[in-house]
Structure 1
Amino acid sequence: MARSVAKDHDQKRQHILYASARVFAEEGIARSNMVQVAKACGISKANIYHYYDSKDALLFDILNTYLSALRDRLLALVSDDTAPEDHLHAFVSEVLLAYLKMDAEHKIQSEGVPLLQEDQQLILKSYQRDIVRALNGTLLEIAPQRFTHDKSSLRATSMSIFGMLNWYAMWNEDADEMARNNYAKLVTDLVINGVRGG
């Protein structure tokens, strides 16, 4: 007879994802093990394996949950009646606010994705591409004369925006929502003035 799923299975799974992401971010994924994860979660190693049969399975679920939710959150901002300048600010601000609540998950992306199987990497990279594509679309609306025939500059601008956001998230971990919104306004103004000014 199949083992039944506990009523609080999803809640416990979310707790494991949250706690293990912090272990991976603080210790490094390669140096972390399931014993450390179990200790951080306040459960036994055997109980961890009830949810995940390996560290790789756990890592994939952390990144899949995080990136798919971030992608959905950012794509939901798209609206036909929103000015592209306002959409850029909302997009940048939303990224920084997402990092506020998911800092550890964000930190382990660059180390974690290459450690996974190729098919899993493709899934995660598809979320990342969707996010970049959404940002590219907004930049094209803001400065079509600059980017319509210059895709390399469009990509460079998008990557520069993420570079600024990642820098801020790394060096301002304790920044609150107001500070993040203020920085989002700064980034938005810099980008708009830059792409339209030259």
Structure 2
Amino acid sequence: MARTIAKDHDQKRDRILKAAAKVFANEGFDRASMSMLARDCGISKANIYHYYDSKDAILYDILETYLRDLRDRICGIDLEGSSPADSLHRVVREILMAYQGADDEHRVQINGVDMLPPDQQKVLRGYQRDMVVFLSGVIEGAAPEVFDNNAARLRGTTMSVFGMLNWYYMWQTGAGTQAREDYARLVSDLTLNGLQGLS
């Protein structure tokens, strides 16, 4: 008879992923052990193996869940009827808000993707690419004349915006909602005014 799935299976899985992300972020993936993960999750090592057969499987699930949810949240913004400037602000704001409370997952992402097999990397980089393409489209829409037949300039601008947002994640991890709102406006204004200087 097949083993039934416990009613709290998903909640326990989420708890494992959250605790593991913290361990991987603080200790490093290579130094973390399944025993360490079990201790920080507050469950037995045997129980962790009921959910995951290896650290690598946990790492992939952390990143796949985090990046897929982030991609869906960002790329799912309905910008219909918004002006180009408002669209940029809304997307930048949403990225900063999505980062809130996900510091460990974000830190694990920085080095973790490269530790996984190529087929899994391809999935994760696909999520990242979707977000870059989405933001690129918004930026291009704000000043199409600046990027006419200049893909390198558009990519450079897009990655510069992500660089500003990732700086905030690195140095302002405890920032609240209003601080993120203010910084989103700053990044949007810098980008929009800077684009005019490129034309």
3-state SS, counterpart of residue 30 of structure 2: coil
Question: How far apart are 1:142 and its partner, in Å?
Answer: 0.5
What residue is the counterpart of 2:78 in the other structure?
78
**2: distance between equivalents of 1:84 and 1:20?**
40
CA contact (8 A) 1:147 1:153 kept: yes
CA contact (8 A) 1:17 1:62 kept: yes
**2: distance between equivalents of 1:65 and 1:32?**
20
What residue is the counterpart of 2:165 in the other structure?
165
Question: How far apart are 1:91 and its partner, in Å?
Answer: 1.1
Aligned AA (1:130): D
CA contact (8 A) 1:78 1:87 kept: no
Q: CA RMSD in A?
A: 0.9
**1: distance between equivalents of 2:36 and 2:83?**
48
- Matched residues, number: 198
Matches within 5 A, 1:105-124: 105-124=105-124
3-state SS, counterpart of residue 137 of structure 2: helix
**1: distance between equivalents of 2:157 and 2:68?**
23
3-state SS, counterpart of residue 16 of structure 1: helix
**1: distance between equivalents of 2:188 and 2:41?**
39
Matches within 5 A, 1:169-180: 169-180=169-180
Question: How far apart are 1:193 and its partner, in Å?
Answer: 0.3
Matches within 5 A, 1:4-19: 4-19=4-19
**2: distance between equivalents of 1:148 and 1:6?**
55
What residue is the counterpart of 1:143 in the other structure?
143
CA contact (8 A) 1:15 1:41 kept: yes
Query: Percent same amino acid at aligned positions?
Result: 54
Question: How far apart are 1:148 and its partner, in Å?
Answer: 2.5
What TM-score results when the alignment is normalised by the length of structure 2?
0.97
Aligned AA (2:19): A
Matches within 5 A, 1:123-142: 123-142=123-142
Question: How far apart are 1:28 and its partner, in Å?
Answer: 1.0
Structure 2 gap ranges (5+): none
3-state SS, counterpart of residue 32 of structure 1: coil
> Greater shift after overlay, 117-126 or 93-102?
93-102
**2: distance between equivalents of 1:167 and 1:9?**
36
**2: distance between equivalents of 1:121 and 1:182?**
34
Matches within 5 A, 1:15-54: 15-54=15-54
Aligned AA (1:20): A
Matches within 5 A, 1:48-67: 48-67=48-67
Question: How far apart are 1:96 and its partner, in Å?
Answer: 1.1
Aligned AA (1:63): L
- Which string of whole-angstrom CA distances, capped at 9 and with x for unpartnered residues, describes residues 148-180 of structure 1? 311101000111111111111111111101001
- Which string of whole-angstrom CA distances, capped at 9 and with x for unpartnered residues, describes residues 3-48 of structure 1? 1100000011111111110111111111111111111100001100
- Which string of whole-angstrom CA distances, capped at 9 and with x for unpartnered residues, describes residues 55-109 of structure 1? 0100000000000000000011132211121111111111111111211101111
**2: distance between equivalents of 1:157 and 1:180?**
21
Aligned AA (1:111): N
